[in-house]
Amino acid sequence: MSSYAPSQRLIERLAEEIRVAGQQHLMLPNDAEMIARALLGHDRTLRAELLIPTQVVANVKTRLADLEYVRCVRCGQVYNAKTQPSLLKNSKCPKCGGSLVAVPLWVITARSVKPANRRITPNQGIELTVSIETYTKTHIRNRNAVVPKQIHIGDRSRPIATLEFIYGFESHNPAPVHKHKVFKYMLALMPSESITKPVTITAFAYNDSTCVEVNTTTGFFSGVSKVLYCKNMEILQATLLHKAGHQRSSSRSRVAVLDMSQSQLGGAVVRIPVRYIQTQGLVVKVDENSVKNVLKELDYSDDDVWIALHTISHAFLVSLPQITGLEGADFGEAISTSTKEIAVYDNSFGGLGGIEGIVDTSGGVLTPNYEWSVRESYKCPLACTKACKACLFTDSCFMLNWRLDRRILERLGW
């Protein structure tokens, strides 16, 4: 096997963390178990394909989305961008010269829907977004209904509540929420990348011989048994699915979309985009007994150790951009639930010097500024209940800042 290919141990760890993702309801437990078994070669009904994307193609209309229409902000004229592709180049209205923007869309969400129904796949033919044309043909009783010639917003401070479609001399007020089978559509003003959010599970593996134990200058962190600085860490990032919904909806109310289809050779296949790198990182070994005592004080169960691991991971992760001067995307995190370890790492092949910059290798200690920021990470200026953007949330998290609780760090006495 090539030195640039993931080791079998790394694949096994990925399968373990996918199972845990199901237990934490980042995805449906049955889907998580099925994919994990497929990765390990234990499920003949499903084949997991780990793919490294080399080309990204954007289409305005697919089986899952319809983004064909644009409108003029000045005169309200609606155009089909697919039949008039030149509009996408200059973004000007042919009629009045006004700027063109995307038309309002209806986006699937899963509020009030049981978790078992919250997963769809492309071959089910359920659209994630609905265009004006789809909406009008479905919801206007007139069979000869056409795309409205004008979209009118009565009050720009309440753009959703006062939205109207104008057909000739008649106006129609679209319902903000309407059912579609077990799902619902939430009205959105315009398409955005926030309509979908990827769920990425990251596995890591390392060789003890390439790691150096790191201490602190003011005593060790309670609940942490050891910290290692690893110069050659394996990282495998796998985007299992994306969650679709209204751009302001929570992760819980979004619909999970798996790239799963029937194989021509029989059975099913799930396509998982992955990224493999070898980089530098910190490995934090967690003292399971100390953590479980704190979880018990907070009325968590022993099965909620993942919440503590994820929270401790963010304590080490959240301040890295500020301390090093790099961007949030330059760092990543990974959790190994079976070994009770977390890793924060440079999110680039070979490393960017970020992790190396917060370790004094000559003295074998964390730099004082970084150590102080880790200890202070749970102190929220907004005094939030568990975690928020002011304390533990970070763009470096590939798990949507899921299930963090700063009270765990506070009870550990950091």
Q: What is the pLDDT of residue 2?
A: 44
How far apart, in whole angstroms, are the C-alpha atoms of residue 191 and residue 128?
Answer: 11
Domain-by-domain residue ranges, the chain?
8-51+197-412, 69-195
For residues 82 and 401, the model is more confident at 401
Residue 379 confidence (pLDDT) above 80: yes
- Mean pLDDT across the stretch 334-349? 95
**Other CB atoms closer than 10 Å to residue 337's CB: what's the count?**
19
Contact 105, 67 (CB under 8 A): yes
Confidence of residue 106 (pLDDT cuts 50, 70, 90): confident
Contact 131, 68 (CB under 8 A): yes
pLDDT at 81 over 70: yes
Mean pLDDT score across all residues of the chain = 87
Nearest CA to 348 out of 397, 398, 281, 273 is that of 281
Give the highest mean pLDDT range of 54-58, 107-111, 120-124, 255-259: 255-259
* DSSP assigned state of 68: -
The predicted pLDDT at position 1 comes to 36
Lowest mean pLDDT among 67-76, 80-89, 159-168: 159-168
Contact 251, 400 (CB under 8 A): yes
Question: pLDDT band at 70, cuts 50/70/90?
Answer: confident
The number of residues making up the chain comes to 414
What percent of the chain is modeled with pLDDT above 90?
Answer: 51
User: 189-211 pLDDT, tens per residue?
Assistant: 677 788 888 999 999 999 988 89
Q: 17 or 220: whose pLDDT is higher?
A: 17
Q: Which residue has the higher pLDDT, 266 or 397?
A: 397
Q: Is the pLDDT of residue 142 over 70?
A: no
306 vs 74, residue with greater confidence: 306
**162-191: pLDDT as tens digits:** 778 777 677 777 776 666 666 777 766 677
Instruction: Determine the average pLDDT of the residues in 355-364.
Output: 90
Q: Sort residue 25 into left (φ over 0), alpha (ψ -120 to 50) or beta.
A: left
What three-state secondary structure class fits 343?
Answer: strand
